[in-house]
Structure 1
């Protein structure tokens, strides 16, 4: 069995020294074929998201996380398959996940597989929270993309929890199911499909993307457990990140800070700089190096968030001003007309056609 896994792992380039700039391309294994199977134009989807299709054939190469999340959303849109990420994840075998998949497969038990995958995930995908929270008789596995430039990430969330589900079912059987599944995004129209695939209650509009996993179900041994190969895979994924595992870029960190601040009103330069461990002058200087001012950054973040909120049909336009840090709705309307030349209501109506 070990020889078989090593043979399968050989394309992962354990002797390469590529650096991971966002997410290892193994996370998109088979994506082109799946897009094609859903009736969308692969070249158009990948081209819109600035993804070189050749990268998808090389699991230890990497994609920008913004492009990766965008390509899943774009594939869902162009294929008219609203549950694209969910269905893509359902057919995703652990072996196709590259190094992170084999780290799970080579672990001693299902519990250790879960722990090892969570510990290695920062090397597989940057700017992401992945953690196991001990809740007594069960674990809560939390997953959340924390990149300041990514607003739409529903498809990625459903795909990722589906991948982890498949890894656990590899050891525990196809009928195994979590206690509950949680998603950050609003409930989609075809939400019953989520309940069917996870075979568990699924809740939406939650703080994190999570799975509640009963501990007693995790004691079964992994079929391909191999302690030596596990060490090889863990070392390989660390080496792919040795030159690039670093904090978010300054602009992305500032964007994230602005988004959080908007929930409490108008962002303040001094407060943001303090939270980033910088002086206001240093932050302004670093932003200028990227051809940005603090005011422009706030405006850009508001504009992106406004279009994101308007696409959530269940969210009343009257509530968006506060979510964007405006003290009154008229200020939001003026800003929106400046950005797009139409009112928020007109923009939402046009986007529905």
Structure 2
């Protein structure tokens, strides 16, 4: 099973725009089960649900984090990420899960996953810190546009614990669990599900594990496949470094749309650039900022128009227009008809 599925996960990393869609495995159904309107959650978050159909596709990381936060808010489930993480089996993690499963021991599995996690998810720190008798597995998103990321942190530590419990049993208790965010209202649930002491307001999101617990063999260890995968990943890493700059700008534009008209200076500042540098780099790809904003709006509009539960006036706000008339003019330019005509 591992051999037959791994090739597509390797190929996926070549076009990873932020995080592989495997990270959102089962997300649509989980949102529905928690009582939220999945189309509304995706719409507000700027995510095309078709990108979730295959683990070989990818999402912009800010949009991925945002969809988790929106799901928590609109479902009324404050611990949404915590619960969502519990459902993940290691194979559902895609590329990074298979790296762990093929490793010889649990310790090397976690070390390999930490080393290559950036191929599964960009702008992210993962590392194993030696604390003497323990390892501390750290996880932290380091993307300047992502300020709210609690749901992702709780989801990711839950996914990693499922890899560990695949070997050590469903009730295995780590030494400690750390989270960056402030203690939530229903924090007792965290202690129960992780079966450990949980600390909040910490420097990193972390799992602290006794080294002696990690010497167990992985039940699906495959040294030959692991060697092939790691050699291929080193080559694929070079491909990822050539990602188009416009993809990063598009991600920030999508985040800005819900606040109104995206502004070049604001997006440039979020990317740590001067506005003229952003404009110059887009020009090398044959683009300008206004054209990119229009392109993003058009793509999102094509998705929103099929969601009957999103009204035309709400669609205008989601696309950053203060008036429906501005949306109608844009629709006529894009599609030749106004939104109501296209919807009917």
Question: TM-score, normalization: structure 2?
Answer: 0.70
- C-alpha contact 2:107 2:215 (8 A) present in aligned 1: yes
Equivalent residues of 1:24, 1:61 under 8 A apart: yes
| Aligned: 1:152 with 2:143 | no
**Aligned counterpart, 1:286:** 277
User: Structure 2: how far apart are the matches of 1:18 and 1:124?
Assistant: 10
Aligned CA-pair RMSD: 2.7
8 Å contact 2:17–2:247 — kept in the other structure? no
Q: Distance in 1 between matches of 2:245 and 2:124?
A: 14
Alignment correspondent of 1:244: 240
1:53 corresponds to which of 49, 53, 56? 49
Change (3 A) 1:215 1:84: same
Q: 2:221 aligns with which of 216, 220, 225?
A: 225
1:7 aligns with 2:1: no
Contact 1:123 1:245 in 2 (8 A): no
The within-5 A match list for 1:1-353 is 4-9=1-6, 12=8, 14=10, 18-238=14-234, 241-245=237-241, 283=274, 285-287=276-278, 289=280
Q: Distance in 2 between matches of 1:225 and 1:198?
A: 25
CA distance in 2, matches of 1:251, 1:148: 15
Count of residues in correspondence between the two structures: 261
Shift of residue 211 of structure 1? 1.1
TM-score (norm 1): 0.68
State the alpha-carbon separation in 1 of the partners of residues 25 and 144 from structure 2: 25
Whole-Å Cα distance in 1 between the matches of residues 231 and 48 of structure 2?
A: 27
SS in 2 for 1:243: helix
How far off is 1:46 after superposition?
Answer: 1.1
1:216: Cα distance to partner?
Answer: 0.5
Whether the aligned pair in 1 keeps the contact of 2:45 and 2:63 (CA below 8 Å) is yes
CA-to-partner distance for each residue in 1:218-252, whole Å, 9 max, x for gaps?
A: 01100000012223333455555433336996998
